[in-house]
Amino acid sequence: ATPTSIMVGSGRGAEKGILFKGGEYLEGTQAIEAVLLDKTGTITEGKPRVTNVMTVSGSNNDFALVAAAEKRSEHPLAEAVMAYATEHDYEVEDPDSFEAVSGHGIQAQIDQHQVLVGTRKLMVEQGINTELVEDKLQEFEREGKTAVLAAIDGELRFTIGIADTVKPTSKKAIEELKNLGIEVYMMTGDNTRTAQAVAKEVGISESHVFAEVLPENKADKVSELQKKGKKVAMVGDGINDAPALAIADIGMAIGTGTDVAIEAADVTLVGGDLSNIAQAIKLSQKTMRNIR
């Protein structure tokens, strides 16, 4: 495209809240054939809140230990647990030690107690049986909630349902992409059942969902699609998404997301409205048509 059409196109983009880091990305966006969307914070608001706490055994008061375990975690789910604990007046101590288990949860030590919070897999790997609560977990997951388990000193104590609302614009934005002939995929570290419930809500087909993807494997999903010969745009907001944003043909960061994601991306969607993905593609097409 000519420098003038690039300038005009970039200006139009900026007006809509689509910031291209350079003219080459405005030019490149029209070639996109597949869009891979992160779930949490991209399709959803990324503001999870605790909706259910079920005591499996022991005292409700020990929820304070669960919150203490989450105190040093930077995961949005941890923030949801902390907010719930504050609202319910639990006194939350500082953990003596804390460790994040990538893609699965956390492990912490508080006052001689060993506390585990996270997925089934995290529990099972520590020899904790989760069969007793499986029905409840699946009920949460079918509602699109993240089911989190908590164990204290090797005993399963709580199941926690955490909900994150889908952005009101996501469904329509995905439909717009499909109308442009673009394939839409979703990727998440969350459980398969939760992921499928959210995908269904926004119109992403079952076969286009990558769930339970570990943070270190997110970029591989982009390469898998690229190996099928597709030009891929990755859209995400998290630190976890940065490698995938960098490897994609076009990386698009949610403006309300982390600085790390914004730095790794080629385009920033300022307000986080996914409708701007289709807008960016159309703007790119128009810019390229004006060249000749």
Please report, as ranges, the residues that interact with ligand ADP according to CB under 6 A. 39-40, 70, 73, 75, 77-78, 103-106, 117-119, 146, 148, 188-190, 215, 238, 240
Nearest distance, CB of residue 286 and ligand ADP, angstroms: 34
32 or 106: CB nearest ligand ADP: 106
Residue 164 binding target from ligand ADP, Mg ion, none, CB below 5 to 8 Å by type: none
237 binds, among ligand ADP, Mg ion, none (CB under 5 to 8 A by kind): Mg ion
Contact 49, 80 (CB under 8 A): yes
The residue type at 179: N
Tokens representing 148 are: 């989190």
Nearer to ligand ADP, 146 or 170 (CB): 146
| 273: partner contacted, choices Mg ion, ligand ADP, none (Cβ within 5-8 A by kind) | none
CB of 43 to Mg ion, least distance (A): 9
Asked whether 264 and 234 are in contact (CB, 8 A), the reply is no
Place of tokens 């286009």: 208
Q: Which pair of tokens denotes residue 185?
A: 């995929």
Contacts with Mg ion by CB under 5 A lie at 38, 40-41, 237-238
Closest CA to 277 of 41, 29, 39: 29
User: 38 by DSSP, 3-state: which?
Assistant: strand
Active site residues: 38
Q: Which is nearer to ligand ADP, 62 or 70 (CB)?
A: 70
Q: Quick one: 55 or 290, whose CB is closer to ligand ADP?
A: 55
> Among ligand ADP, Mg ion, none, what does residue 148 contact (CB within 5–8 Å per kind)?
ligand ADP
Q: Which is nearer to ligand ADP, 35 or 283 (CB)?
A: 35
Is residue 21 within 8 Å of residue 288, measured between CB atoms?
no
Smallest distance from the beta carbon of 278 to ligand ADP, in angstroms? 24
User: Do residues 261 and 237 lie in contact, with contact meaning Cβ atoms separated by under 8 Å?
Assistant: yes
Cβ-contact 10, 21 below 8 angstroms: no
Residues 6+ apart with CB under 8 A from 247: 219, 222, 223, 234
Decide whether 26 or 187 has the Cβ nearer to ligand ADP: 187
Give the residue nearest to ligand ADP (CB). 189
Nearest distance in Å: CB 225, ligand ADP: 18
The tally of CA atoms less than 13 A away on the side-chain side of residue 229 is: 0
Task: Name the strand (E) or helix (H) holding 35.
Answer: strand 34-38
| Residue 192 DSSP symbol | H
Q: CB of 284: closest distance to ligand ADP in angstroms?
A: 29
C-alpha torsion angle, residues 129, 131, 135, 141 (rounded to 10): 50
Query: In whole angstroms, how close is the CB of 236 to ligand ADP at the nearest point?
Result: 9
190 binds, among Mg ion, ligand ADP, none (CB under 5 to 8 A by kind): ligand ADP
Q: Which listed option, Mg ion, ligand ADP, none, makes contact with residue 251 (CB within 5 to 8 Å by class)?
A: none
